[in-house]
Amino acid sequence: MPRQLPTVVVIDDSTEVRAVITARLRLSGLLEVVGEGGDGTEAVGLAYRHQPSLLLLDLSMPVMDGLEALPGILAVSPATRVVVYSGFDEGGLAHSAEELGAAGFIEKSLPIDRLAGELLAKLPDRHVVPDPRERPSGRSAGSGRAALSYDQQVLDEHLERFHEVFEQAAIGMATMTLTGSIVRANRALSDLMGHKPHELIGLDYGRLTSGRGDLLDAALLDITRMSADIVHLEHDLNGTVDPPRKVLATLAPVRDSRGQALYVFLQVQDITRQRAAEEQLRRSEERFRLLVEAVRDYAIFMLDPLGHVASWNAGAERIKGYTASEIIGQHFRVFYPPDKREEQHPEDELQQALRTGQYGEEGWRLRKDGTRFWANVLITAVFNDMGEHIGFAKVTRDMTERRRAEEERAAAAAALTQANQQLRQAAEEQKQFLAVTAHELRTPASVLDGTADTLSRHWSDLTDADRTRLLRSMSSSAARLQRLVTDLVTTSRLDADALRLRPAPTSLAVLVATAIETVRTTRADGPVVTHLEPDVQVLADPGRLVQAIENLIGNALHHGTPPVDVRIGTHGGTARVEITDAGPGVPTQIRHQLFERFTTGDGTRGTGLGLYIARELARAHNGDVTYEPGTPDRPAGTFVLTLPLAPGVRE
């Protein structure tokens, strides 16, 4: 009678990773895979339904991460041995998982051939490991423990270099789950937070924000909903740090090829000195302003109840240019520009001062020579001991220099703000570029390595369904790598103005047909309907123009609804390629950024370089790519690539 195998449930939000793991566990002959899922909530449900012997649990997943799901799994299936499976090798992380009830911790860097054995080692002694001779035929376990493939060695070397850079960085850095739990932290962050490195692992970052965990929750919610790629939080550190510090935390999601957030990369900078310097500068400017105002000369004079000048001091003569003999007896309207006189503004000032006791304002005034100055004016109604109104006291300060300085400071601040925005944008683009590149490369490279190894050593042991699934995964991953490399090389050349075109008169229909054929051989997203008549000749570099058209068609297949309709034609002396899908069209709120780098539209997948490259390649041909909003008949709208016709070609 065949021996009953221990059962296992596999939980990982990457379908490609799950495919490799489940196939290898089944092939081991040591375990029976009874279920698989993509997040913590599914893990709890599968544990309750199957009551498995083992549950292999990924750490960072959407909705509910592994650390959050662990107590729920054990609550519904107490006998299940939960093993945390993570790409991070932090000892503190393993300790946190074990405190929550995990039976063990396995790193994803473990050779896949050893995974089944490592899982069995977590079971109680009452489970009997099947005799290796009862396993399905195939290569022996000994041969499975052979040296890692060259590709695996290359990946491990790059991973080690990343770890070195991460650990040696002068800026505090960490990786968090989608719910804010720290799973990796470098030395700079632990020093900044006043904790030992292992104390940060498994800790909710919100606990370090001096009670502003709500800001972190809101930021993580924005990231998981795909509405934010970079979030900045400024907060004080909690009371464990002396003296108190203020930090700027920058959160950037690490997404998979579908745009789904896997982890959150955290960068923390100490801005205590910066904020203190800004406050000191503000106070210094305030003290300087008070000092300047205290020593400036004032124009102080009296008006009679009707507004005629009744007295005049030296400050008034210096500021306004009139001598006492020239101005006494004249109405003070003479100090105001013509438009204010016509509005009866001087008389209105006196009426308001009489009603409220005092009136003040700043505005333009005139000197004797007709030049203007910016004045700070205070008018006070004056009464005698009998309560009779006897006139007004008027104090005027020349604030022209201060106003000019404020305008210059405002202009300088605006210029500085713009420069800072440009710097932040450049830094964010670089950070996004690194995140996109790393994660677009990591998953397909890992899948290709694991899948190729599985097929090469276990082809005859796999079922047809397993082989088909793994081959499809290899094909998809290879195509994604090729598209990414092509886009990155083109973007690099565009940025460096190093793109070299070799234009020649070419059939537009041939170029479009070539692009469609390439798309059909590398993607299976949906049908493409073509209308390639009448044909026209364009002056273009065939390879580059085909790349631009491929990107436009690929964008319609990825983000639109099939079928995709492709037409060529001419209008206004230019050739046109029109690409339309059957979907609802591009949302109004993102149309302005469609052709910017790293814009992924719905945020589901891709590098966000396709439309940017298509437009830049078209412009390099003296053409352009635009988006024309839809109509009631064709709501999806149309992406239009325009090019000059070849010399001598008429519409």
Which strand (E) or helix (H) includes residue 430?
helix 400-458
What CATH number does residue 580 fall under? 3.30.565.10
pLDDT of residue 493: 60
Q: Per-residue confidence at 641, pLDDT binned at 50, 70, 90?
A: very high
pLDDT of residue 144: 40
If you average pLDDT over every residue of the chain, what do you get?
Answer: 79
Question: What domain range is 422 assigned to?
Answer: 405-495
Summarised one tens digit per residue, pLDDT across range 411-448 is 888 888 888 887 787 667 666 655 555 655 665 677 67
Q: Which residue has the higher pLDDT, 31 or 427?
A: 31
φ, ψ of residue 524 in degrees (nearest 5): -135, 45
Tell me if 165 is assigned to some domain.
Answer: yes
Question: In the predicted model, what is the mean pLDDT of residues 520-528?
Answer: 69
Note the Cα 21 to chain centre separation in Å: 31
φ, ψ of residue 398 in degrees (nearest 5): -80, 110
Beta-carbon count within 10 A of 19 CB: 22
Question: In the predicted model, what is the mean pLDDT of residues 474-489?
Answer: 67
CA 256/CA 604 separation, integer angstroms: 9
pLDDT score of 31 more than 90: yes
Specify the DSSP class assigned to residue 645.
Answer: B
Could you give the percent of the chain with pLDDT greater than 70? Answer: 78
Same domain, 260 and 172: yes
Q: Which of 398, 430, 455 delimits the end of a domain?
A: 398
CA 442/CA 477 separation, integer angstroms: 10
Is residue 238 within 8 A of residue 207, CB to CB? The reply is yes
pLDDT of residue 141: 40
CA 190/CA 182 separation, integer angstroms: 11
Q: Please state which of the ranges 42-56, 247-261, 501-515, 552-566 shows the lowest mean pLDDT.
A: 247-261
Q: Which residues of 366-391 are buried (b: 16+ CB within 10 A; e: fewer)?
A: beeeeeebbbbbbbebbeeeeeeeeb
pLDDT of residue 264: 83
Tell me if 233 is assigned to some domain.
Answer: yes
Q: Which residue has the higher pLDDT, 131 or 101?
A: 101
Same domain, 508 and 639: yes
CA 110/CA 329 separation, integer angstroms: 98
Q: Which of 468, 495, 522 delimits the end of a domain?
A: 495
Summarised one tens digit per residue, pLDDT across range 440-475 is 566 567 767 778 888 888 888 888 888 888 787 777
pLDDT score of 352 more than 90: yes
What CATH number does residue 363 fall under? 3.30.450.20
3-class SS of residue 448 = helix
pLDDT of residue 433: 59
Question: In the predicted model, what is the mean pLDDT of residues 94-109?
Answer: 83
pLDDT of residue 288: 42
Same domain, 563 and 612: yes
Same domain, 563 and 484: no
Is residue 381 within 8 A of residue 357, CB to CB? The reply is yes
Summarised one tens digit per residue, pLDDT across range 277-289 is 888 878 876 764 4
Tell me if 651 is assigned to some domain.
Answer: no
pLDDT of residue 133: 43
Same domain, 132 and 189: no
Same domain, 511 and 635: yes
Peptide bond preceding 503: is omega within 30 degrees of 0, i.e. cis?
no
Q: Per-residue confidence at 349, pLDDT binned at 50, 70, 90?
A: very high
Could you give the percent of the chain with pLDDT greater than 90? Answer: 20
Tell me if 151 is assigned to some domain.
Answer: no
pLDDT of residue 10: 94
3-class SS of residue 60 = coil
Same domain, 246 and 363: no
Same domain, 513 and 633: yes
Q: How many domains does one find in the chain? A: 5
Strand 261-270, strand 104-107: pairing:
unpaired
Q: Per-residue confidence at 369, pLDDT binned at 50, 70, 90?
A: very high
Tell me if 327 is assigned to some domain.
Answer: yes
Q: Per-residue confidence at 350, pLDDT binned at 50, 70, 90?
A: very high
Note the Cα 639 to chain centre separation in Å: 25
What CATH number does residue 37 fall under? 3.40.50.2300
Q: Which of 495, 526, 555 delimits the end of a domain?
A: 495
Strand 7-11, strand 32-37: pairing:
parallel
Half-sphere exposure (CA, 13 Å, Cβ side) for 169? 19
∠ CA 127-111-87, rounded to 5°: 95
Q: Which residue has the higher pLDDT, 446 or 640?
A: 640
Summarised one tens digit per residue, pLDDT across range 222-274 is 877 766 778 888 888 875 566 778 888 888 887 766 677 777 888 888 888 88
Is residue 173 within 8 A of residue 188, CB to CB? The reply is yes
Question: In the predicted model, what is the mean pLDDT of residues 77-105?
Answer: 81
Same domain, 394 and 409: no
Same domain, 567 and 483: no
Tell me if 154 is assigned to some domain.
Answer: no
Q: Per-residue confidence at 92, pLDDT binned at 50, 70, 90?
A: low
Distances (CA, A) of 460 to 141, 455, 564: 16, 9, 40
Question: In the predicted model, what is the mean pLDDT of residues 321-332?
Answer: 92
CA 81/CA 44 separation, integer angstroms: 13
pLDDT of residue 604: 45
Summarised one tens digit per residue, pLDDT across range 127-176 is 544 444 444 444 444 444 343 344 344 434 444 554 565 676 778 888 88
CA 19/CA 10 separation, integer angstroms: 10
CA 151/CA 154 separation, integer angstroms: 5
Is residue 637 within 8 A of residue 629, CB to CB? The reply is yes
CA torsion 578-584-588-593 (nearest 10°) is: -50
Which strand (E) or helix (H) includes residue 442?
helix 400-458
pLDDT of residue 476: 64
Question: In the predicted model, what is the mean pLDDT of residues 344-372?
Answer: 93
Same domain, 36 and 56: yes
Tell me if 149 is assigned to some domain.
Answer: no
CA 560/CA 213 separation, integer angstroms: 38
Is residue 245 within 8 A of residue 270, CB to CB? The reply is yes
The amino acid that residue 593 corresponds to is Q
Same domain, 467 and 391: no
Straight-line distance from the first to the last Cα atom of the chain, in angstroms, rounded to the nearest whole number: 81
Global pTM reads 0.37
pLDDT score of 503 more than 60: yes
Question: In the predicted model, what is the mean pLDDT of residues 87-110?
Answer: 77
Tell me if 631 is assigned to some domain.
Answer: yes
